[in-house]
Each structure stands twice: as C-alpha cells, then as structure tokens.
C-alpha cells in the first residue's frame, strides 16, 4: 500500500513537532544541571559556556537528598509489592468468579478515580492522627502511613488492568490445572501468574510511578523523618538562593531510574494496557 503525499507530510510534521515539544524541557533539564550557578541565574543560553558536574556534587549537601532518595525507594518499592499482591487476588476474583456484588465492586473501584484528592486528604490525615492517639500506631511522619496511602492509590487501576489481562488467559488453562488436582490458589500461582507476566510488570511499573511521583499527600503527611523526593525537590527553591542548576541536576537523578525502568519494560506496559483497555 502506498502513502499519499498528504499522509507523508502529516507524518513528518507530526513527528517533528512532537519531538521538539517533548525534548526541549528534557534538554533544558539536562543542560542546566551541568551549568555553574551564575549561568542559570543570568539570561538563559541554549549552549553553556562552561560545563561542570559541580551541581551533581553540591545537590546532596544543599538538601539531604540521599535521605529523601532512600525514603522514596523504600516507600515506592513496598507500596508496589503490596499493591501488586492485593491487586492479583482481587483481579483473580473478578476475572474467574461470578459472585454477588462483582459489578458493584468493579464499578466502585474505578469510581475512586473520581475522588478529588483534597476531599479525603484532611480526613485521612485526621484518621491517621486518631489511630496514633488510640492505638499508638504512628502513621503521620512515618513510611508506613505513606505506604498504605500509595498502595491504595494504584490499586483501582491495577485491579482493572490485571482483570483485563487475566480475562485474556484462556479459562481452559486453569480448569485443566484444577482437574489435575490444583486448588484455586495453586492454579493462580502455577498457571495464571506465569501467563500474565507482562501484565504484572505493567502494573508494577504503574504502581511504582504513582508512588514515586505523588506530591499532594507527600507534602502533608511527611515530616523531616520520612520526606520523599517529591517534596524534597521543592526545598531547593525555598532557600534564599534558588539553585536552579542543582534542582535540574537532582531532577535528572530522580528521573533516571524510573525512566530507564519504564523504557526497558515499555513493551510489557503496552501489552498490559492493551489487555486492560481494549477488552
């Protein structure tokens, strides 16, 4: 099949314009992280006169970035693992069983996407405070509170995506396993999970990205003890000096692990989305 000239022009123009739009902020981030402070305070230049890695050294001292990094890694990893396990069970139930309340559950889960964060931010905060006063479990200012919050944020979409993925796995597979004497749990672990690996990877990436990038609850529920990168990165600009070069350097550093992870696994992510969204 041959493309018309119009199609070719459309394709080239679209790709070129969107590439520029996409790249420029990333370029500015990378290049500004390599400039000395005076160069980011004066007029912007597309190509720096002096390149230095000093911002990448100083950024750890201006704010305790390493601590924030550790907090973010722990919170995001634990939230991702827990969210994945819980989502697997829920999606298995939704995909393989007919039971009363099934469509109610599916509808309710997706409708949480509608909730404005500001509506439950303060109540959740107060509930955490009350749990602390009544049961002595510290949830505000600890990683546990953030983990519970974040794993719940990614749950609805994860369940929805996984259920779609499980639906695409022929039922005959787990029926056959059950005939061979597997219980429902063994059928899930032995048959469905291996077949659903791209979907699981997709959900894990999604959960991790959700936790890693969350700002609103992090800014209210964290203290110096458990501050995450999302809040920590803002602290460079509340100093008397705005260290734009260090902010940009820190932005690059916090982005690299997640961007690389995402790009390596993007095929799985697209496959997982296809299963969830199209079916």
What residues from 93 to 152 belong to the interface with other proteins (CB under 8 A)? Answer: 93-94, 97, 99-102, 105, 108-109, 111-124, 126-127, 148-149, 151-152
Write out the two tokens for 101: 């309340």
**What does the alpha-carbon distance between residue 81 and residue 268 come to, in Å, rounded to a whole number?**
17
Interactions with other proteins, residue window 4-63 (CB under 8 A):
4, 6-7, 10-11, 14-15, 18-19, 21-26, 28-29, 32, 40-46
Least distance to other proteins from the beta carbon of 96, Å? 8
Residue 224 burial by CB count (10 A; 0-12/13-18/19+): exposed, middle or buried? exposed
- As a dihedral over the C-alpha atoms of residue 215, residue 216, residue 220, residue 226, rounded to 10 degrees, the angle is -20
Binder of other proteins out of 68, 92, 165, 243 (CB under 8 A): 92
Q: Is residue 258 at the binding interface for other proteins, with CB under 8 A as the rule?
A: yes
Give the residue from 158, 163, 127 showing the smallest Cα distance to 145: 127
Site string for other proteins, 161-180 (x = CB under 8 A): --------------------
Task: Count the site residues for other proteins by CB under 8 A.
Answer: 98
Site string for other proteins, 203-222 (x = CB under 8 A): ------x--xx-xx--x---
Binder of other proteins out of 50, 237, 239, 241 (CB under 8 A): 237
Least distance to other proteins from the beta carbon of 151, Å? 7
Give the residue from 133, 198, 131, 194 showing the smallest Cα distance to 161: 198
Q: Are 68 and 232 in contact (CB under 8 A)?
A: yes
Binder of other proteins out of 52, 77, 167, 234 (CB under 8 A): 234
Q: Are 121 and 216 in contact (CB under 8 A)?
A: yes
Q: Are 55 and 33 in contact (CB under 8 A)?
A: yes
């Amino acid at each position: 099949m041959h493309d018309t000239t119009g199609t070719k022009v459309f394709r080239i123009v679209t790709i070129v314009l969107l590439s520029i739009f996409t790249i420029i902020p990333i370029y500015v981030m990378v290049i500004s992280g390599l400039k000395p402070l005076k160069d980011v305070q004066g007029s912007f230049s597309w190509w720096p006169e002096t390149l230095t890695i000093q911002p990448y050294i100083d950024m750890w001292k201006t704010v305790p970035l390493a601590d924030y990094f550790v907090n973010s890694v722990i919170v995001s990893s634990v939230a991702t693992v827990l969210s994945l396990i819980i989502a697997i069970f829920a999606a298995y139930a939704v995909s393989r069983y007919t039971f009363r309340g099934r469509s109610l559950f599916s509808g309710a889960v997706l409708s949480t996407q509608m909730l404005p964060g500001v509506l439950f931010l303060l109540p959740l905060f107060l509930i955490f405070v009350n749990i602390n006063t009544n049961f002595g479990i510290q949830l505000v200012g600890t990683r546990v509170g953030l983990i519970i919050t974040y794993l719940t944020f990614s749950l609805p979409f994860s369940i929805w995506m996984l259920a779609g993925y499980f639906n695409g796995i022929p039922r005959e597979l787990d029926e056959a396993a059950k005939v061979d004497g597997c219980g429902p749990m063994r059928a899930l672990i032995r048959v469905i999970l291996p077949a659903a690996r791209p979907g699981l990877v997709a959900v894990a990436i999604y959960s991790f990205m959700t936790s890693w990038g969350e700002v609103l609850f992090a800014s209210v529920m964290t203290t110096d003890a458990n501050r995450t990168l999302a809040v920590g990165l803002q602290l460079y600009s509340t100093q008397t000096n705005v260290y734009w070069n260090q902010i940009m350097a820190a932005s690059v550093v916090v982005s690299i692990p997640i961007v690389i992870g995402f790009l390596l696994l993007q095929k799985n992510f697209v496959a997982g989305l296809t299963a969830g969204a199209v079916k």
